[in-house]
């Protein structure tokens, strides 16, 4: 059973199972500071846990927990709080920390959508010079999670795992890739700030290799898979 209707929930639809509760609903904007939104997520979480103790409960958290620049962020603090709640209240659980999911739709404020829309629409933005981001396609994420649940759950149940791309990108690399794809020049102010959620977890790289997911030209694959309408006529002709 899947709880949610956003980017994360939608990518899991092909892998839904009656014996698993996928908690894919809640605050999706990491910049949200509305306590009421987080309280709604907490209440939903408690209610669903109480209703589904017989199921394996999969709760989705964030790899941003590992980013020192996000340590005071309300979104990150609440995710840690909810992880602890799941660990204390669930008999059978798997906490999945996710990096930056990319696919069709989703929150317009997520980092990839923000960069893509800003470049395409000619809007100026601030770009952190020393920031790195980890991008993973929704379909790759869903395949990896399904493989873990089907074949590698032994030893992983009642624990925290991380699903992310072994390949990291600087913020500038992402913007330059979008520029090349759209044929449009980004307008930004380079700011001397750093941010990186660096994760050490061999499971993710093992899964990428096991499923034959190639990280070479991954950014191009993201753009060509989900965002062809942004590709300019000039880029298509080149």
Domain boundaries, the chain: 2-237
What is residue 198's predicted lDDT score, i.e. its pLDDT? Answer: 86
The position carrying tokens 């190639």 is 214
Q: Which residues of the chain have pLDDT under 50?
A: 237
Angle among Cα 136, 137, 139 to the nearest 5 degrees reads: 130
What is residue 220's predicted lDDT score, i.e. its pLDDT? Answer: 95
Phi (first) and psi of residue 160, to 5 degrees: -110, 130
Q: In whole angstroms, what is the distance from residue 109 CA to residue 233 CA?
A: 26
DSSP code for 184: -
pTM as predicted: 0.93
What is residue 234's predicted lDDT score, i.e. its pLDDT? Answer: 54
Q: Supply the CATH classification number for the domain 2-237.
A: 3.40.50.720
What is residue 28's predicted lDDT score, i.e. its pLDDT? Answer: 83
């Amino acid at each position: 059973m899947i709880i949610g209707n956003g980017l994360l929930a939608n990518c899991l639809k092909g892998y839904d199972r009656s014996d698993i509760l996928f908690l894919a609903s809640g605050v999706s904007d990491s910049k949200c500071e509305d306590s009421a939104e987080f309280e709604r997520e907490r209440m939903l979480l408690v209610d669903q846990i109480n209703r589904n103790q017989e199921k394996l409960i999969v709760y989705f958290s964030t790899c941003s927990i590992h980013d020192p620049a996000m340590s005071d962020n309300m979104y990150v603090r609440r995710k840690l709080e909810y992880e602890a709640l799941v660990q204390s209240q669930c008999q059978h659980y798997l906490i999945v920390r996710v990096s930056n999911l990319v696919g069709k739709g989703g929150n317009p404020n997520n980092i990839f959508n923000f960069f893509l829309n800003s470049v395409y629409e000619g809007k100026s933005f601030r770009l952190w010079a020393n920031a790195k981001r980890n991008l993973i396609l929704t379909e790759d994420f869903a395949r990896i999670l399904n493989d873990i649940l089907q074949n590698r759950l032994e030893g992983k149940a009642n624990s925290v795992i991380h699903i992310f791309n072994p390949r990291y990108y600087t913020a500038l690399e992402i913007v330059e890739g979008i520029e090349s794809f759209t044929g449009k020049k980004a307008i930004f102010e380079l700011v001397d700030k750093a941010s990186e959620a660096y994760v050490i977890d061999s499971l993710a790289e093992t899964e990428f290799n096991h499923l034959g997911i190639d990280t070479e030209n991954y950014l191009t694959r993201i753009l060509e898979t989900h965002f062809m309408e942004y590709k300019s006529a000039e880029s298509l002709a080149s």
